[in-house]
Amino acid sequence: MGVIPTLIVPCPETSMRYAFALDLVDDAQRIADYEKAHEKIWPEVRDHLLNHGVTGMEIYRLGTRLFMVMEVDPAVYDAQAMAQASASNPTIVRWEALMWTYQVPTPWTPVGEKWTAMQRIFDLASQA
């Protein structure tokens, strides 16, 4: 992913949740190809995520906007270490290069980044 998440939302005692946004190229075929690539990601990518403490990940799409929810084990997950490991793993570098052919930064994404951390603005649990 190449981005160090700054937004951490507490989840059940054993995990933390991150929320990110990214856009897709506005092209129906590329969007279909992106979705196809995520039907069964490369095993090395899956293993990389799991080995770095990612316990859950979901990506949602509305038009060209993507929303990713990532849950991690805080005892294992280190964003900096994962970013460094990703940059030095040829398979992850290839996957990210392939994904970047489908993706574009949001208008709010800092230069050189992809997935951008989102700010939580509402939590039902805090409304008690």
The structural domains of the chain, with segments of one domain joined by +, span 9-119
Q: pTM of the predicted model, to two decimals?
A: 0.87
Please state, rounded to an integer, the average pLDDT across all residues of the chain.
Answer: 92
CATH dotted code for 9-119: 3.30.70.1090
Residue 59 gets the label, from left (phi > 0), alpha (psi -120 to 50) or beta, of: beta
- What is the pLDDT, as a whole number, of residue 80? 95
State the average pLDDT over residues 72-95: 97
Task: Please say if the pLDDT value at position 84 is more than 90.
Answer: yes
Task: Please say if the pLDDT value at position 9 is more than 70.
Answer: no
Residue position matching structure tokens 């951008």: 116
Q: How confident is the model at residue 14 (pLDDT cuts 50, 70, 90)?
A: confident
Report the C-alpha gap between 92 and 98 in whole angstroms: 10
Task: Please say if the pLDDT value at position 89 is more than 80.
Answer: yes
The residues near 104 (Cβ < 8 Å, ≥ 6 apart) are 22, 23, 24, 25
- What is the pLDDT, as a whole number, of residue 5? 56
User: Vertex 11, ends 68 and 110: CA angle to 5°?
Assistant: 35
CB 20 within 8 A of CB 114: no
